[in-house]
Every structure is written in C-alpha cells, then in structure tokens.
Structure 1
Amino acid sequence: MHTALETEVRHTPNVFDIDQVMIDRRAKRGFLDKPVPLEVVKDILNVARFAPSSSNTQPWQCYVLSGDGKNRITAKAVEVFRAGPEKLAPEYPFFPQPLPDPFLGRFNTFRGQLGDAVGVPRSDKYGRMRDVERQFRFFEAPIGIIFTMDRQLEWASFICYGCFLQNIMLAAKARGIDTCAQQIWSLQNPLLRAELGFADKDMVVAGMSLGFADNSLAENNMTNMKLEVEEFTSFVSL
C-alpha cells in the first residue's frame, strides 16, 4: 500500500507527455526539506535500467544515499574539500585545457549566469568555494546517488552511461521530482571508495542530487540558451 506522498509522485499529471518532460527537465541546485520515498527512487531506477547500452553491457552501478549515511558522507566530502581542493583529482578529464571555442564561449556564458543567480561573481574565490561545498552536500537534496563504472571498460561505455543518467532524470521529472547530475563527485573518488566499499577497479563517473526543487531560488529559474536544430544538424538526402 502506497503512502500519500508516493501516490503523489507516481501520478503527476503529464507523466506520459515525453516531449514536455524533456523540455521541463532542468538541473536544480537547491531542494526543499521534503523526503522522497525510497520506493519511488526504486521505481525511477527500475524504469531507467531499460536504457540502451552497447551489446547490452549495462556498465552502471549505483549507490543511493539518504538519511544519516548521506549526511556522514557529505560532511566528510566537505571536510576533504576544505583541507585541500587542489589535491582533488577527477577519475577522468572534464574538459580539455584549454577549452576551445565555441564551447568556451558557452561555458563562460553559463558560469556567468550561474554566478549572478547565486550572487557569487567568478572573482569571489571564497564565495565560489562555498558554492562548491553546496555541491558536496547534494544541494541539500534528500537523496544523493553515486554512479560508478568498471574502469576496464572503454570510453564508449560513457555513451551508454549518459543514456542511463538521462533516463533517471526524465523518469524523476515525470514524477514531479528534480535532479542535478554532478561530475564533481568524481573528485571525491578516494573518500567514496572508502565509505562505500567498492573496488579500485571501479571509477566514480558522477553523482546526482534528487529531490523536490526549491524554485524560490534564482539559480533554479535560469533560462539556458539552447542551439536551434538548424545550428547543430545537417540534413543529407542525396
């Protein structure tokens, strides 16, 4: 028998309106103090597992964090970050150095918008550190998910993983729940390996915040520029 909250998030209007769900999905960086039942998280993952993967290899592994377990790990992650952010290294490069145009232009535009929304200009070193700490708290979301992948796999498996992550985000949005995918959790791979007990052969791909967004926050109401279809598509008929 489902609770009232489980029934609410299972039967949100437009749950089958796939186009609108994709349009409405946004990365949210602040969440309400409102629980998400673990049964609903299981429902989301049960749908997401049907993501396509090369020859059905299914490279994903998930660790769902909530309650005291999540609080313990986020507190330690913030402590590790404060002790030496320059010591943290991701499991894989996020961007090439230098990032070329036009990607650099889009990156700078977005970072400027986000900085304005949270009131932290890029020149504010300490403000930016506080903003990173919010990421290591899963933006106060009730659920945090850590995603790992066997490092023996090749880079092509990241394509499969992207499909899986998108399935989670869309399935959550269809139930009225918001998310934020976070590559930054790859920086905390030693801590996560110690806390969650996965093997050295497994790499941290990303984390994800999951909960009910606090849409009173400016950063949760940003409008990001998206390219028009004609700007990224060539139609070839001959």
Structure 2
Amino acid sequence: MNDRAPALDAPLILDPLQASARAIDPVQVEAAIVGRRSVRAFLPTPVPRALIERLLRVAARAPSGTNTQPWKVYVLQGRARDALCDQVCAAHDAIRAQPALAAEYQEAYDYYPSQWVSPYIDRRRENGWGLYGLLGIGKGDKDKMHAQHQRNFRFFDAPVGLMVTIDTVMGRGSLVDTGMFLQNLMVAARAHGLDTCPQAAWNHYARIILPHIGASEQEMLVCGMALGYADPQALVNRFVTPREPLERFVRWVE
C-alpha cells in the first residue's frame, strides 16, 4: 500500500471553488496520473466501503456534456462478485469448447476497430506479446492464453469489481464523458494507494452481467473495472506499457 496515501478521515472537498483555492502539489498530481496503470494481480485485502464511496464522489466531478452525468456504477463484492465471475468464466470456457456460441455474446458497441491498421495494430501486438512474453506464454500456448484471458473474469483477484453502464438513449458523447469519469476514478484510487484495471473484456458478456447487477433493459455496459491493492510480488505487475513521444501525436498549429 502507499504510505503517502491521503487518510480516509481527511476532509473531502467537493466544492470546485473551494478546491481550486487550495495549494496543489503538481508533482503529487502528476505522480497519481503517471502511476496509474493496469494491474493484473491483486491482494485479497478488503477495500473499505467508505473509501470506495469517497473515490466515486470525487470521480463524479468529471465533466459531461450539459452536465448529463450519464454514468451508472455497480459495485460488486463478496458473493455477488464471486457468482458473476463463476457465470462468465463458465461462458468463456463454453465458447472455447464450442466457438459458434460466441455469436450469443455480442458487445453493445465496437470498442476495437473491425479492421486493424498501423500504427495501432503494431502497438496492440507490442502490448500483447510484451505481456505474454513476461509470463512465458508462447504464441502457440492456447491453454495458457485462455487461462490468462480468463483472469479478466476474476477481476484479477481484486476484492472489488465495478460495472459501469450508460442508458442506451444517450449518444456517443456519453462514452467520452464516462471515460473521463473512469479516469478520475482511477487517478483518485492511485492517490489513495489503490490500483485498478479497466476491462473491456467483460463487454461481450453483458447478457449475463446486466441481469446479475440489476441493470435495466435500457442500460448498456461500457466496461468493467478491477479495484484493490496491487500484489507487489506478482510477476505480471512488472509489465508497464510504453507511451509514444510527443512529436508522434502532437502538432503545433500557429
């Protein structure tokens, strides 16, 4: 855990004017942003409900078009979490045994492109083989690949699983808004010594997830997220993805 994380009993400031008037340590803010990464092995250490609520309240200060605040969050712990994991893992295994079943599990929106092109496919491959290479999973190790992918559906053993939805009536902009909410949540979690892993892998199993969490038929699953304390001894947590240099994605227009 992060010994420098803010105390849970520290005052929570939700007034933007009051917050902006306070002195801010830019190094600490930057550390929380840069320190956010996708953790794939967690300790069983419980996360206090009061801390989860605090993080969600802070995250809800995310901007949204005309203040629509389209996100809805379902927090899964204990038996509810475990039961969902069991159901989705069973479906994941069934699809492997009978690939035609995949047609029954479709995501509500295209998270990835239908046709990959450079440079995005190159980065995707670098990410995939970098992770699998660290874990000693070779290109033909289908059993190990399946097992590692299924770790998603155990929330990588995190004690807290989150499911985030929006109403289907909302437009694509609400996905942008929800993405900013998710980023707020992940950075706030890091500031408190917690780690996360946002997971689009769950999206294919919305037909199982939405009834389980009590979501309405008018809701669409945006993604899942693992939340907890990272296991510092886990090999997989040594994996850190690179970032492109500024000159590759920034153009100065003067």
TM-score (norm 2): 0.86
Q: Secondary structure at the match of 1:136?
A: helix
Q: Secondary structure at the match of 1:203?
A: strand
The residue that corresponds to 1:233 in the other structure is 250
Q: 1:218 to 1:54 in 2, by over 3 A?
A: same
The residue that corresponds to 2:14 in the other structure is none
The residue that corresponds to 1:32 in the other structure is 43
Following superposition, the deviation at residue 233 of structure 1 comes to 0.6
The residue that corresponds to 1:209 in the other structure is 226
Following superposition, the deviation at residue 10 of structure 1 comes to 3.6
Following superposition, the deviation at residue 196 of structure 1 comes to 1.5
Cα distance in 2 for residues equivalent to 1:143 and 1:10: 20
Cα distance in 1 for residues equivalent to 2:80 and 2:249: 43
Does residue 165 (structure 1) correspond to residue 161 (structure 2)? The answer is no
Contact 2:63 2:177 in 1 (8 A): yes
Does residue 52 (structure 1) correspond to residue 55 (structure 2)? The answer is no
Cα distance in 1 for residues equivalent to 2:82 and 2:240: 31
Question: Percent of aligned pairs with the same residue?
Answer: 31
Gaps of 5+ in 1: none
1:63-100: CA deviation from partner (whole Å, max 9, x where unpaired): 00011111111111111211125423211112212211
Contact 1:15 1:174 in 2 (8 A): no
Contact 1:177 1:212 in 2 (8 A): yes
The residue that corresponds to 1:224 in the other structure is 241
The residue that corresponds to 1:144 in the other structure is 161
Does residue 22 (structure 1) correspond to residue 22 (structure 2)? The answer is no
Contact 2:37 2:240 in 1 (8 A): no
Following superposition, the deviation at residue 218 of structure 1 comes to 2.2
Q: 98, 101, 109: which is aligned to 2:126? A: 109
1:114-166: CA deviation from partner (whole Å, max 9, x where unpaired): 11122222321111111121100000001000001111111111111110000
Q: 1:124-143 alignment to 2 at 5 Å?
A: 124-143=141-160
Cα distance in 2 for residues equivalent to 1:117 and 1:91: 32
Cα distance in 2 for residues equivalent to 1:9 and 1:110: 29
Does residue 79 (structure 1) correspond to residue 90 (structure 2)? The answer is yes
Which range is displaced more, 14-23 or 110-119? Answer: 14-23
Following superposition, the deviation at residue 106 of structure 1 comes to 0.4
Gaps of 5+ in 2: 9-24
Q: 1:122 to 1:94 in 2, by over 3 A?
A: farther
Q: Secondary structure at the match of 1:95?
A: coil
Q: Secondary structure at the match of 1:171?
A: helix
Cα distance in 1 for residues equivalent to 2:230 and 2:139: 25
TM-score (norm 1): 0.91
Following superposition, the deviation at residue 16 of structure 1 comes to 7.8
> How big is the alpha-carbon RMSD for the aligned residues of Structure 1 and Structure 2?
2.0
The residue that corresponds to 1:11 in the other structure is 7
Q: Secondary structure at the match of 1:20?
A: helix
